[in-house]
Structure 1
């Protein structure tokens, strides 16, 4: 059972989440609804519910991968204005798609970033270095969907919640450019509950 959130952090945290919802709207997404009680995403081995990435799906990408059941994808368009760029660009990468976990019972997103052509490891390093308050960074060379890829795990300190939270991502090079698929989450518990959806994407990813 999740321990109660400290009262002294609750009000500023809620204010920050509200602001984030408004800013996210600048990227063409809707403010987050209340979190449902169902924990489908937390069950071991996420159940697939169709693929994402091919033409005709919610996000046309250089790769395709299996979506976890009840996760909702939406294409993201990042403009040049300051707020949109601050939210939708990180290091060499630009956000192109986000998959919302809230309909599946968690607070977080699986986000897809485009980093242009080049080595996956270098793109991922640039992505993480651009993340403020990142620490405990570990890179590994892996196989994602049978293709060479680089994966990173790290923590990010959240000043509002006054705690660090786990994050991870993997990157792979394709003929159409390097793709980074990132999983964050409200906190470490949410992140770990969403891991099956991330692992499903990682195991099923294919270059298009």
Structure 2
């Protein structure tokens, strides 16, 4: 259950989130609400609006394929690899025009944000985000290092080689630091290389507590991952 005190800052948070398009990138991916007078309070799931609302002209991508996966043709987002979604997590494709003022926020190193899977309907504040690039060769570890290395606030990165479903993969846990909130939080990501491109799947969160609560959804995606046909 979320802290009842969050409701006291709901109005301010709504304004902050409305102007925080694509909060998923850069120095503080989940901290648009830090602009409010009560930055230390967490927003409620119902008040923390989707960060890509303006960057996603088509709002029809909120459904998934019948089998509850994302990544396959016909699902909300077509990706180089597919994976299962946790109940009530809602995916939406991310489309940003190159000349958009927020275009830079949808890039991290060589990767472009392609899909955002929102945890708010399931009761958490955070996202699984799928980032892609066209490379069909190279190692998952190198791809992941390029992704994390592009975040100048990242530290304490620990990498390991894993299997993501049927695919060789690399995984990293690390921390990012927010100057606005003066705190660090945990991040987790994995990378796979497929014949249709490279995918980084990243789990963020409002803070490390939210991150821990959302790890089962990340693990579900990881263990079910397979190359898109």
TM range (shorter): 0.7 to 0.9
SS of 2:218 mapped into structure 1: helix
| Corresponding residue of 2:114 | 96
Gaps of 5+ in 1: 31-48
Q: TM-score, normalised by structure 2?
A: 0.73
Alpha-carbon distance, 1:167 to partner: 0.4
Alpha-carbon distance, 1:67 to partner: 0.3
Alpha-carbon distance, 1:78 to partner: 2.3
| Corresponding residue of 1:156 | 176
Q: Is the 8 A contact 2:175 2:187 kept in 1?
A: yes
1:20 aligns with 2:20: yes
Rounded Cα–Cα distance in structure 2 between residues aligned with 1:148 and 1:55: 22
| Corresponding residue of 2:125 | 107
Gaps of 5+ in 2: 23-50, 59-66
Alpha-carbon distance, 1:112 to partner: 0.5
More helix by share: 1
Structure with greater contact order relative to length (CA < 8 Å, sep ≥ 6): 1
More strand by share: 1
Alpha-carbon distance, 1:83 to partner: 3.1
Q: Is the 8 A contact 2:109 2:146 kept in 1?
A: yes
Q: TM-score, normalised by structure 1?
A: 0.80
Rounded Cα–Cα distance in structure 1 between residues aligned with 2:13 and 2:171: 29
Q: Is the 8 A contact 1:172 1:179 kept in 2?
A: yes
For residue 59 of structure 1, the aligned residue among 59, 77, 80 is 77
Rounded Cα–Cα distance in structure 2 between residues aligned with 1:201 and 1:148: 14
| Corresponding residue of 1:147 | 167
1:191 aligns with 2:211: yes
